[in-house]
Structure formats: structure tokens, C-alpha cells
Chain A
């Protein structure tokens, strides 16, 4: 890894994944995420890793889950149309508790939409895209450096909590070039999935450790036989129609994220101590929003900045505390109003929430956001 690099966001994500120990990539070409696949195709064979371009997006995530089942840290990357196709097997990874990382470099939708232009229209799909209930861990990087750092965090979270972890990047972040200083990664910085210590005859594949609600995961080929299924299952991994067993599995799937919520949630605040107006933004929009906040300060407006780094779990408690102090929260998004719903839920009427939406394929300019700040000031 170089000491300093001048990378695109997609490059930083790929090299971050490799630094995190990713050794398997299954995918399918799609703009604007393809650079991630191209780098993995070049780099993985050089370190005895595996790259495979599958026949479609569905197969891309299926192979990725297969790679993880066989013991490799595994990644797939896509954009909106592919993210839609991946939802089916994403559900399987949730219910079967298979760690993988999925990147969506967002572009405009619906359908084929705007392949080469930016958007943030998939953020609710990240939470609710696959059918059925499950906890979600989802990061939104807002710089190229952060693409690298979040790739490592995402793999660590996937391995620790045994589930898919999503990275919602966007076309601006994916294709923007910035200076990156890749941190030196020590083995102790990386999380590896908990392996079973029971003898094979005693291994109960989905029996959770009461300490953390997480079962150990054996890899196919390392001495254990076990059953994986997309059906609702008992601790043996075998399909069940028993209402107690069904409820036990469902509650644990939710609880394993809820109880570690405080460890997972990440956010950034700037100039919030005395702020009257808060601008809440994520991804590429956070960059223009921060500029607008600084500009507002030079004009004597007490503006502050709040950036969720994890979209899910959403930093609701932390935002609610700030909402008691500010008058207005502006939520600029490159969609017709998605995360603003979560903001409204979190602040619960304690501050006025103003949505600012742009869906023309362009990024906000700082002046666009500044004018809304001035309007509400």
C-alpha cells in the first residue's frame, strides 16, 4: 500500500477492502461502480484471492455469499439497478447470517435512470429493500479517504455481527479524486469471524453465545458439517414452523444489532455547540453542506453541521439531543426526501425540519444550501 495516494473513491474502496482482508469478489459490471470490480480483478489473483465476473447481479452476490461460506472475506459492488437485483440474496445473507460487504455507488433512478449522474435515491432501499425484517448496518462515505476507512470498518462489522454490511457511496464520491493516506493496518485492527471451538459432534450452528447473541461460524471445509438455509430455522439451522423457534430467531436477528447500536453508530458534528440552525447531510452532499455552514458563519448566522456516517443504525439519540437546542434542521438530499423521514422521526417535533431536495443529476452548490440557511435564519 502506498504512503500517500491520489485515488478515486471507487479505488479507495477497493484498496480499503483489500487492506481489510477481502479475498473474494463476485460481481457484474455496472456504472458508476465498475472500477471496484476492475481493481479487484487485477489485484486479487496477485494475492491468491478470488475474482469472478458472474452472469448477472443476482449471481454476483450469490457467489460472494458462497465465498464467505467457504471462509473468505467477500465483497460485491454495484449501483441502483444491480442493488435492486441483489435484494433477494441479500435477504438470504441476513437470515443465514453470512458476513459480506455490499457497495452501492448510487446513481439516479428509478430503473436505468441516470447511469453517469449522481443521486442518493437508494438510501431507504438499503434499509427496507429486501423483504422481511432484519437489522441493517449501512455506511455513507463523504470523502475518498473515508471510502478507504469505511471499507475496513464495514468488513470488521460484517465479521463481528455476522451479517451483510452496506456501503452507500454515490457517483460523485466514487469518481472524485482526493489525497488518501492509507493508515498502517495491524492484524489487531481487523476483526475475524468467531470460529466454533466445539468438537464437530457438538456443534450447533445457530446457537448464540448468550454474551453477544452471536453464533460462531464454521467455514465449509474446516471440519464441521452444518446446514444453511433461507428458511426460518432453529438453532440447528433446520427449517422450523414452531412459533417459539420462529420468534426466537426473528428477535435475535434484530437484537444482535440493537444491543450493539452504540458501538456501531458513527456521526460527525461541526460548530453545533451554539447552533440555531443545523444542516444534516451525508455522502457527497455533506461536502457542499459543510461549506455552506462555514459561509453562513461568516455572515453571522449560527449554523452547525451534522453528518450521519452510519445511515443505519441512524444516530437518532444523538440528533434528538441537538434538536432540543436548535430551531431548524435543514436536510439537503439528492432524492425527493428519504432520510428526512428518519430525521423527523428522531427529532420528534423538537425542531422544525426542512427538506431540501435535488433530483436533476447534479450536486448541490454551496450557495443553494446557503440560501436555505439564510431563508430560515
Chain B
């Protein structure tokens, strides 16, 4: 059960939530709220944006400045909000399809700008809300309603994608370790720059059912049994890492942040004294 401080961040008026019993998304919401409580964030100064999908419905249940946008576009909305008011803490929650398929372009450019937004990518390897279609993170060979003979297209490594595109903080956890997810989200929010926290979660309803991970517990056990911490992974061969989930902090860089650069430009051209 959440403690009272976490509970205060919930819009219980809008319950019951839409997620299936046993869904991992609630665990991630709890990790996010604990991070916000730990950081003593104010609800009125915290923006949480989302796109479309099961994961994106999270923002409706959180009592903050929340915006549930169009499919894949949430980072572009969040970018506008952050640039207009850099004082705000801006978080963006996305699913794997939302972030890396329809929103892929917005994702890589948000990484490139290194704008101070924390993107939480809730990766369950499937389009859950629409009934279990193949996504850019569905493992090769897995069954989905639009890959009934097994997925043949290779999947994205979201953390490598974010690192390559220029994000200044990149980490991965799983819902089997909610405390670690909380720590990474907290570190992401604290990072002055674009942070990507990929959290592997499950959709037992749409993915697990077809891929021998039928119950929530099957999925938690799968994550527990296959997670490898980054420092241990460094000592393992590619063959040993096959099918494993490397968890940890992949990128922690101190590089110029977009809104800070923008405000410095405003100051340089005399914009601050001319004012609003």
C-alpha cells in the first residue's frame, strides 16, 4: 500500500483505473510517485505528459499538471511546455510503441536537444490497449496478433537508441525491482538534461498469454531470473548475455541543457531586460 504522502498525489476521484489486474504499470506509477515525494516536488510545479496507450493513461490518475496528448507526440508537447516555463519539472510517460514507433522522431530529437525532461518508457514489448500487436520492441520470434507466425523484424534497444541520440542520463530497470526503478527515476529528474528511464514491464493479457508468460508472477519471475546488473554484464560474453536484460545506469553525462542554453541566448541578446 502506498504511504499517505504518495496517496496525496493520486486523483482517487478518477478510480478505478483502466489497467488489468496484475499489470506492471501501477508499480511504475508507484515508483514515480515515490520519487516525486522523495524529491519534495510540488504538484502545481510538476508537469506529467503522455501520449496514447495503456501506459499513457497514468497521467489521469496523478494529481499534478497533466496532459494526455496524441499518439507518440507527447515529447513535442512537453518540449513546448518546458521551453515556455523552464521552472517546471517535466516528466513524460510513454509506452514502447508510443516512444519508439510513432514517436520515434520526437524521441531522438528530444535526446539530441538534451532538454530537461525525464522520459519514462514503460516497455511491455507489445501494443496492449489495441489488443496485442507487434511493437518495435517485441523480441524476434515472439507471437503477437500482427505477427502470428513470430516477429521477424529486429527490435530496438531503447537505451542504446537514447545514448546514441544524445540523452545525458539513460538507465534501465524492471518492475521486479521497483526500488531501483524509483532510484533511477529520481536520478533522471535530478539530472539537468534529457533523461531516459526504460522500465521493463509486462502485459500478461496481450503478450504473456501468447508467449508462455501467462500470469503476472510468471513475468516478475522472468525479469528476476534474467536481469543482469551492468557491472556484471561487462564481464560477460555476448553469448552469455543472449536473452538477458542488462539493468543499471548506462549514461550519466554533464552536458549543456537546452533551456539553459536558450535562456543564455536570451540574456546575450538583451531579452531579459526587455521582458515579457
The reply on A239 being an interface residue by CB < 8 A is yes
Given A54-B79, A221-B65, 7 more pairs with CB closer than 8 A: A23-B276, A48-B275, A58-B76, A59-B105, A92-B70, A228-B67, A238-B11
Chain B residues with Cβ under 8 A from A62's Cβ?
A: 69-70, 73, 76-77, 79-80, 106
How many chain B residues touch the partner (CB < 8 A)? 43
Complex interface residues of chain B between 21 and 77 (CB less than 8 A to chain A): 43-45, 47, 59-60, 63-70, 73, 76-77
Bound form: Cα–Cα A66–B65 in Å = 12
Whether A229 pairs with B68 at a CB distance below 8 angstroms is: yes
With A46-B271, A55-B106, A69-B81 as known contacts, state yes or no: A220 contacts B88, CB within 8 Å: yes
Contact A55 to B105, CB < 8 A, known contacts A66-B80, A67-B83, A227-B60: yes
Q: With A and B bound together, what is the CA distance between A50 and B261 in angstroms? A: 12
Contact with B along A50-66 (1 / 0, CB 8 A): 10101110110011111
Give the complex CA separation of A275 and B64 in angstroms. 61
Q: Are B80 and A46 in contact (CB under 8 A)?
A: no
Q: Which of B145-153, B189-197, B262-270 contacts A (4 or more CB under 8 A)?
A: B262-270
B77 interface neighbour in A45, A63, A227, Cβ under 8 Å: A63
- Is B272 an interface residue when CB atoms closer than 8 A count as contact? yes
**Complex Cα gap A230–B44 (Å):** 21
Nearest chain A CB to B119 CB, angstrom units = 15
Contact residue among A46, A56, A68, A74 (Cβ-Cβ distance under 8 Å from B269)? A46
A78 on the interface (CB 8 Å rule)?
no
A220 touches B85 (CB 8 A): yes
B87 located at the interface, meaning its Cβ lies under 8 Å from any Cβ of chain A in the complex:
yes
Chain B residues whose C-beta falls within 8 Å of the C-beta of A70 in the assembled complex: 80-81, 84-85, 88
Contacts of A58 in B (CB 8 A): 73, 76
Q: Is A282 an interface residue (CB 8 A)?
A: no
Q: By DSSP majority rule, is chain A's interface helix, strand, loop, or mixed? A: mixed
Chain B hits for A71, CB < 8 A: 84-85
| B residues near A6, Cβ cutoff 8 Å | none
Given contacts A24-B80, A26-B80, A63-B79, contact A48 B272 (CB under 8 A): yes
Can you give 18 contacting A-B residue pairs, CB < 8 Å? Answer: A23-B276, A24-B83, A46-B271, A48-B266, A50-B84, A55-B76, A55-B105, A59-B106, A62-B70, A62-B106, A63-B83, A71-B84, A71-B85, A74-B80, A221-B47, A225-B64, A227-B11, A239-B60
**Is B13 engaged at the interface, CB distance under 8 Å to the other chain?**
yes
Partner pick for B84 among A55, A72, A228, CB 8 A cutoff: A72
Q: Which of A52, A219, A223 contacts B83 (CB 8 A)?
A: A52
Q: Chain B residues in contact with chain A, CB under 8 A?
A: 11, 13-14, 43-45, 47, 59-60, 63-70, 73, 76-85, 87-88, 105-106, 109, 262, 265-266, 269-272, 274-276
A36 to B: closest C-beta gap in Å: 17
In the bound complex, residues from chain B placing their C-beta under 8 Å from that of A200 are 44
CA distance A45 to B276 in the complex (A): 10
A45 and B81: CB pair below 8 A? no
A236 at the B interface (CB under 8 A): yes
Instruction: Tell whether, in the assembled complex, residue A47 and residue B14 are in contact, meaning their CB atoms are under 8 Å apart.
Output: no
Contact B66 A227 (CB under 8 A): yes
Chain B residue contacts of A226, Cβ below 8 A: 65-66
A129 within 8 A of B: no
In the complex, the answer to whether B77 meets A66 with C-beta atoms within 8 Å is: yes
* Contact A66 to B76, CB < 8 A, known contacts A55-B105, A59-B106, A227-B68: yes
Question: B68 touching A230 by the CB < 8 A rule?
Answer: yes
User: A66 near B60 (CB under 8 angstroms)?
Assistant: no
Contact of B73 among A50, A59, A229 (CB under 8 A): A59
Closest CB in chain B relative to A48 CB, distance in Å: 4
Whole-angstrom CA separation of A65 from B274 in the bound complex: 24
In whole angstroms, how far apart are the Cα atoms of A89 and B103 in the complex?
13
Q: Which chain A residues in 316-368 approach chain B with CB under 8 Å? A: none
Asked if B88 contacts A221 (CB within 8 A), the reply is yes
Which residue of A has the minimal Cβ distance to B259?
A: A50
In the assembled complex, which residues on chain A have CB atoms less than 8 Å from the CB atom of B65? 220-221, 224-226
| B58 smallest CB distance to A (angstroms) | 11
Interface string of A251-285 (1 = CB under 8 A from B): 00000000000000000000000000000000000
CB of A231 within 8 A of chain B? yes
Whether B64 contacts A229 by the Cβ 8 Å rule is: no
Rounded to whole Å, the gap between the CB of A35 and the closest CB of chain B is: 20
- Residue from B78, B266, B274, B276 in contact with A66 in the complex, judged by beta carbons closer than 8 Å: B78
Contact between B276 and A67, CB atoms less than 8 A apart: no
Q: How far, in whole Å, are A221 and B81 apart by their CA atoms in the complex?
A: 10
Q: How far is the CA of A71 from the CA of B274 in the complex (A)?
A: 18
- Please give me the residue from chain A that is nearest to B78 by CB atom: A66
Shortest beta-carbon distance, B99 to chain A, in Å? Answer: 14
A77 → chain B, closest Cβ, in Å? 15
**From residue B273, how far is it (CB to closest CB) to chain A in Å?**
9
Instruction: Name B271's contact: one of A47, A59, A66, A223 (CB within 8 Å).
Output: A47
User: Given the interface contacts A55-B105, A69-B81, does A228 sit within 8 Å of B275 by beta carbon?
Assistant: no
